[in-house]
Structure 1
Amino acid sequence: MNYSTYNVTLQEETTIPWTSVDTSTDYYYEDEGLSHVSDILSQFSMVIYSFAFVLGTVGNGLVIFFTGFMMKRTVNVVWFLNLAIADFIFTFFLPLSISYVALNFHWPFGNFMCKLNSTIAFVNLYASVFLLTVISIDRFISVMFPVWCQNHRTPRLASFVAIGVWILACIFSLPYFIFRDTDAYNDAVVCFNNFHEDKNIAFSRHKITVVVRFIASFLIPFSVIIFCYSVILLRIKRNHMTTSSKPFKIILAVIISFFVCWVPYHIFSFMELFVGHDNFRFDYIVFVGTPLTSSLAFINSCINPILYVFMGRDFKQKFQSSIRSIFERAFSEDSVQADLRSKTKSTSDSQLV
């Protein structure tokens, strides 16, 4: 494989191991200043990876333990349990990425682990966003059809839906397992996206993966989520509901944090497609921004347990209660549905009189 096909540029070397780097250009940097920036970005990335690994495995591990073994199984618990599993698996594999950066982008773990490490990252992305979309639809149905939910909205059904989400996430992540590859370069083994030997085909496949990822993991889910919560808020306002639902607020916080952490990554994924067109300033922005936005995406996998704790109870009460009670309060069934059932029952009783 020649250099033009593999194209390990300085910019690509500092990109996190699982990002879709541009393999279609021959442009690269020969600036000592950029080499210094590369070292700083590598050190910064290792700090973020290590922070995400420690906080993510411990925090999500606790969520899995309490939701999976200590709490009554409800629909909300099923959703948050699967979110925690997705984040835990991703952060559990972070030491591989930390080692890759620490070894100056030498991959000693073999071709299969190169593929698996990248695939797990995107399974986490798709599973998380699909679960957040399903949660939004679940809230929408609970508000609009409370009587139906009372009879059919069960943890068993939620578990089947969650299984479907995982299958769908694996399907969308399959291309990253197929295209991820290893090869020797400058006395090192690198883990990269080998889209094709032909530069034009490689660029086309790279562009397709970026566009599909943006549509499937951002555009469509974000549109569905906005629609669902807009209808929910309008319904609550129209029915003059004054309930303060902790689970409702937590779900909104989780959704907002997810999109804040992932939107910059999607933006720079598109920008990365245009690297290498003799625009040094643009390439430098992508060179610096890609590791930073990727690190921000990493942080999302460890922020959810923090949201559960700090929004589960008032700050003063939080330190006076057990961890189990915090999670139980955070994942309790939403009272919005109960209010709607009450209103529906009152309306039905009045019609019978």
Structure 2
Amino acid sequence: LLLVFSIPGNLFLVSLALADLVVALYPYPLVLVAIFQDGWAQGEVHCKASAFVMGLSVIGSVFNITAIAINRYCYICHSLAYHRLCRRWHTPLYICLVWLLTLAALVPNFFVGSLEYDPRIYSCTFVQTASARYTGAVVAVHFLLPMAVVCFCYLRIWVLVLRARRKVKSDNKLCPRSSNVRSFLSMFVVFVIFAVCWAPLNCIGLAVAVNPEAVAPQVPEGLFVASYYLAYFNSCLNAIIYGLLNQNFRREFQKIISALWNPRRCMQDSSKGSQAEGPESQALPEVSAQRPVGADTL
């Protein structure tokens, strides 16, 4: 945990994890209750609140993924400027800005009246037919624009990685560190899966925004429900992606599970380890992310 918070870039991952977690704590249980009761019986307040939290999670995930891509782009492609723009105390400010933008993006829902119960998906959510202009703005600002920024960042990173590999082979140098490549790949896969899961629903929203009265009745209910639950399912996938592609994540997750299963043994092991290592081991090692990154070190 100390290592997570000692590396500024990792704070963005914590923020993304919170965005995925918040939707499972409040809206999803209410959706399950509505499914079992075949209707919404929790009242108007819970309906608006759950829809707001759902939007907070969705837009927060989009903006956090965008912030992670920009952070990785600056770190790899503009490493000298990165250490001026992303100091340790800067990162919490950037994360606060991400969540402030998320809140600002949700405020118009209350003026448009677009947070309502949809019986097709047993959820209180954003209604695409409430306002054609606002639906178009939601798709553009909350999906198309962030995805364009993320694509630009990762394409530039890929170009630099390929150039570095060709240079390494031509100069007979060591290959790029596999840990750096896996870390980049894990976040790239997170972005790709997010785009795949949310693209169908946003395509429907974009079509509805063009002509709500003509298009909305023509959208098959099965297609809408499938696209919506595919978007819901995205919140469950990030942890699986981290577990498959990140060895450190798997190792630390196993430690957390073992600590929860047998906390006394975990405390004994940690106390023995601290006594054996001595006081000098309490200082965290210098993280390589704090040094400028060139093409040869990718």
Tell me the TM-score normalised to structure 2 length.
0.71
Q: Which amino acid aligns with 1:84?
A: A
1:181–1:191 CA contact under 8 A, matched in 2: yes
Q: Please give the secondary structure, in 2, of the residue aligned with 1:155.
A: coil
1:142–1:337 CA contact under 8 A, matched in 2: no
* Mapped partners of 2:242, 2:62: distance in 1: 18
* Mapped partners of 1:194, 1:225: distance in 2: 27
Relative to structure 1, the CA distance from residue 110 to residue 181 in structure 2 (aligned partners, 3 Å threshold; closer, same or farther) is farther
Picking from 6, 11, 15, the partner of 1:82 is 15
1:86–1:127 CA contact under 8 A, matched in 2: yes
Deviations 1:61-99 (A, max 9, x none): xxxxxx5x7744312320110011111111111111121
Deviations 1:321-352 (A, max 9, x none): 452679xxxxxx78797651877xxxxxxxxx
2:29 aligned residue: 95
* Mapped partners of 1:284, 1:341: distance in 2: 51
Point out which structure has higher relative CO (alpha carbons under 8 A, 6+ apart).
Answer: 1
1:164 aligned residue: 97
1:265–1:293 CA contact under 8 A, matched in 2: yes
Picking from 195, 208, 217, the partner of 1:259 is 195
2:278 aligned residue: none
2:54–2:125 CA contact under 8 A, matched in 1: no
1:180–1:191 CA contact under 8 A, matched in 2: no
Q: Which amino acid aligns with 2:150?
A: I
Q: Which amino acid aligns with 2:87?
A: T
State the 1:266 CA deviation. 0.6
Q: Which amino acid aligns with 2:294?
A: L
1:270 aligned residue: 206
Equivalences for residues 282-321 of structure 1 within 5 A = 283=217, 285-313=219-247, 321=251
Q: Which amino acid aligns with 1:323?
A: F
State the 1:292 CA deviation. 0.7
Relative to structure 1, the CA distance from residue 84 to residue 100 in structure 2 (aligned partners, 3 Å threshold; closer, same or farther) is same
Relative to structure 1, the CA distance from residue 191 to residue 118 in structure 2 (aligned partners, 3 Å threshold; closer, same or farther) is closer
Deviations 1:281-300 (A, max 9, x none): x9565211111111001111
Aligned length: 250
2:158 aligned residue: 233
User: Which has the larger share of helix?
Assistant: 2
* Mapped partners of 1:141, 1:75: distance in 2: 13
| Identical residues among aligned pairs (%) | 20
Relative to structure 1, the CA distance from residue 337 to residue 263 in structure 2 (aligned partners, 3 Å threshold; closer, same or farther) is farther
1:116–1:177 CA contact under 8 A, matched in 2: no
2:20–2:236 CA contact under 8 A, matched in 1: yes
Picking from 66, 72, 77, the partner of 1:144 is 77
State the 1:126 CA deviation. 1.2
State the 1:102 CA deviation. 2.4
Tell me the TM-score normalised to structure 1 length.
0.61
